[in-house]
Chains A and B, each alone.
Chain A
Amino acid sequence: MNFGKAKKRETRILLILGLLVVLIFLFPFYIAIVQSFKTQLETAYNALALPGAFRLDNYYEAVEKISFSTSLKNSLIVTVTGVLLIVLCSSMSGYAIARNEGGYFKVLDRLFLSSIMVPFQVIMIPAYKLLKSLGLLNHLAGEIVMLVGISVAYSSFLYVGFVKSIPMELEDAARIDGCSRFQTFWVIVFPLLKPITATTAALHAMWLWNDFNISLIVLQKDAVRTLTIKQFYFFSEYASDYNMAFAAAMIGMIPILVTFLFLQKYLVSGITSGAVKG
């Protein structure tokens, strides 16, 4: 009896602590949302208070100043094309590595694995040089090539693990029925890879959208900048007009937060199965 009471009290304490954690983690969001609706005067008077009225002026101004449609378009092109290419390439290479032993495939597997350790700074200077000589600097194509290239090793690794867990009988049966290797992969195997494809796509959508390192090197002209890198320059340029900058920040947050709500299941399963990289 007494035990039950103590247990109940403990549950209540944990709940209160949990609520406290939630409030602390949401606080920066509150600050951001509130400033984005306030006037400069209101923020200067009290940064914590709610806005006096619901105004969208900051948003109108931010959309105009950040050339929102261009950077959003760039971000979308880079993320969507990048994720599609990553899934296409790494599902195929992951499958090939998982289903073949020794020789070339083992070397490739090792090469991919060890490349995950390589920090971006090691390739930054030569990649800049290479892209420049190929004429891909300040092109979205260059950005996509770089992002896909540094991602395929890791995502292939994710696919290798998954392919090894599915039995080969189905593929053999399809082969006997006269399917070519190519058909077997796309018609039989690829649909079976759906869970790992969802995880890979969700994780990379997040990483590509938020990429800073590569965009900083490759996208040095305004017209090709993605939302993340555009905001980086924007925040330092308009450092004094906080309210408009916060509206710009909100505009950047909303697409990723909405996507997150749809993808969270796959993100969580990806992360908890050890799918984290730097």
Chain B
Amino acid sequence: MKKKKKREVRSRLISFLFTLPSLFFFSLALLIPFVMGLNIAFTDWNGIAKEYHYVWFDNFIKIFSDSRIVNPVKNTVVYALLTVVFNNVVPLGLALLFTGIRGKAGNICRLVVFVPCCLSGVLSAFVWKFIYRFVLSALTGLSSPLGSTFWVLPGIMLIALWNGCGINMLIYYAALKNVPSDLYEAALIDGAGRLQLFRNVTIPMIMPAFTICVTLGFTNGLKEFGMVMSATGGGPARTSETISMYIYNNLYTYSKAGYGQAISLVFLLVLVVTGNLMTGFFRKREVDM
């Protein structure tokens, strides 16, 4: 009995050793910075100086009276909503279309839509900036949406859509393929029309895919940074500056690292709450098979 216990302890000890390499990198990149961040958020550190003072909750209170933060918050919410709508409607539409195309042609379609996903936001933004500026004007006479204070966010969203919608398309495609065909047949025998079929059979059956794509889409939309940085850098006149960029600017442009860190913690709280609420909302609507 004692021997068995000893072996058990030894086995868990070896397992513990197995987790150490991961824990080492995880601590350096995430755990330690996260704890340090909790500390920085209560200081007036400027990002460079060796010295700083504790200002306690001043940074957090300041967020609510900061007039400069209103714009980024508004932009971030608008951008996330645009993304979540278009980056679900378009991929679902494409997935539905591709399930109707059989054989090699269908494979090629899916491959082509997925290809842009392996390009960086930097590259995508560069190519599309050119298209907006020169090709769009040559074809339609319109000027680049990235120069307009109203169209800049939809313009960036469209680049992100081209760059990323292949991922959601694949998730929806896989979900659609998994709907058992006898469900459709049964509904057809019952005299269901196409629209009814889609609403009452397809949608409930692919609910898990919605849960993933909508929740991740919205939280990722809220986090958007790289694409905006590459496409506009926040312009024109800060109309595309997102909250992520505002945090970045507080460190590198405004030298207010402590304040930036405080915003990021509030931001994290919002993300976690929103993500959980949305997952809960969709999970309730999933059907068990």
Contacts and interface: CB of A to CB of B under 8 A. Distances in A.
Interface of A: 10-11, 14-15, 17-18, 21-22, 25-29, 31-32, 35, 43, 46-48, 85, 88-90, 92-93, 95-97, 99-100, 104-105, 108, 111-112, 115, 117-130, 145-150, 152-153, 156, 181-182, 185, 206, 209-210, 212-213, 216, 228-229, 231-232, 235, 242, 245-246, 249, 252-253, 256-257, 259-260, 264, 267-268, 271-272, 274, 276-278
A206 B118 contact: yes
A28 B114 CA distance: 14
Nearest to A102: B12
Contacts of B122: 212, 228-229, 231-232, 235
B34 interface: yes
Contacts of B226: 212-213
Given A120-B223, A213-B226, A127 B267 contact: no
B247 A245 contact: no
Central interface residue in B29, B112, B244, B267, by most chain A CB within 10 Å: B29
Contacts of A27: 131
Contacts of B101: 11, 14-15, 18
Contacts of B174: 272
B26 A149 contact: yes
Interface stretch (B58-66, B102-110, B182-190): B102-110
Contacts of A147: 29
B271 A125 contact: no
B131 A31 contact: yes
B240 interface: no
A228 B230 CA distance: 11
Given A104-B12, A149-B26, 13 more contacts: A11-B100, A27-B131, A99-B15, A119-B244, A122-B264, A124-B264, A126-B32, A130-B36, A228-B122, A253-B119, A257-B118, A272-B173, A278-B223
A123 B130 contact: no
A185 B15 CA distance: 11
Q: Which 6 A/B pairs are nearest by Cβ-Cβ distance?
A: A149-B29, A93-B22, A210-B120, A126-B36, A212-B226, A272-B174
B85 interface: no
